[in-house]
Structure 1
Amino acid sequence: MAFDKDAIIASLKEASISDLNDLVKAIEEEFDVSAAAPVAVAGAAGGDAAAKDSFTVELTEPGSAKVKVIKAVKDITGLGLKDAKDLVDGAPSAIKEDVKEDEANDIKEKLEAAGATVTLK
């Protein structure tokens, strides 16, 4: 059976919103489909790190060797002792932002070697 597309469109233009809503529901049920727009789903926690251009190195927990971590933060950031201590005391805190993957991994290794827990975001 051939159908007249223009006639169908003309009928739809004259229909009320309620009628169109009922039509959509009937089509969804008849053909087992959904009229909802598809939604992109984000990756799992941690995501695909290789796809990122820049990272933020976050000090999650300074650990028990806080003095070593403060010294490492001071060396990495170039901050003074007091500012580095405040950054460590304020954990979780961003140590460096918008850094390349290699640099982020280097910073993470240094902080973890000092006893800290670090997250790359």
Structure 2
Amino acid sequence: MSDEQKKEVPEKFKALVEQIEKLSVLDLAELVKVLEEKFGVSAAAPVAAAAAVAAAPAEEEKSSFNVELTETGGNKIAVIKVVREVTGLGLADAKGLVDGAPKMIKEGVDKATAESIQKKVTEAGGKVTLK
């Protein structure tokens, strides 16, 4: 474990942290979206965004991409394998994501990562869009 993960959890948050630890990755992603919408905030790392803006203020190129699985194609098993690889999800969660297409595979990734995921999914027979 890294030093960040070993930090002491304040007593008033222990029950909440224990509940969050029991959630699946898909449930956590949904929880993050709900909290972002409810409070009008973003879970994206503000330091990285601030550094990108400071480095190239005149540049208008998009730096953060969402990768959405739009179609599974004919080889669903290969697409599930790719989704598992890029998301770290278990088999059941990855299958649920693929079966529920169109669904977001990854959010807030850089252009190179987004294009790499797109290439892998396309090679497996699926289709993705970068947003």
1:94 Cα shift?
Answer: 0.3
The answer to whether 1:114 aligns with 2:124 is yes
For 1:111 and 1:76, locate their aligned partners in 2 and report how far apart those are by CA, in whole Å. 10
Same amino acid, percent of matched pairs: 57
> Which residue of 42, 64, 67 corresponds with 2:77?
67
1:85 corresponds to which residue? 95
RMSD between superposed Cα atoms in Å: 0.9
TM-score (norm 2): 0.54
User: 1:103 & 1:87 partners in 2: Cα distance?
Assistant: 19
Aligned residues: 72
SS of the residue 2:67 aligns to: strand
Structure 1: which 5+ runs fail to align?
Answer: 1-49
Match of 2:66?
56
1:101 maps to 2:104: no
Q: Give a deviation string over 1:59-113, Cα, whole Å, max 9, x none.
A: 0000010000001100110000000000000100000000000000000000000
- CA apart distance, 1:53: 1.3
* Greater Rg over alpha carbons, structure: 1
3-state SS of the aligned residue for 1:53?
coil
d(CA) in 2 for partners of 1:79, 1:104:
17
Instruction: Choose between structure 1 and 2: higher helix proportion.
Output: 2
Q: Normalising by structure 1, what TM-score?
A: 0.58
Structure 1 residues 35-78: Cα deviation after superposition (integer angstroms, max 9, x where no partner):
xxxxxxxxxxxxxxx71110000000000100000011001100
Runs of 4+ in 1 over 4 A off after TM superposition: none
Instruction: Provide the rounded CA distance (Å) in 2 between the counterparts of 1:53 and 1:86.
Output: 29
Aligned partners of 1:71 and 1:53: how far apart in 2? 27
In structure 1, what residue type is equivalent to 2:85?
D
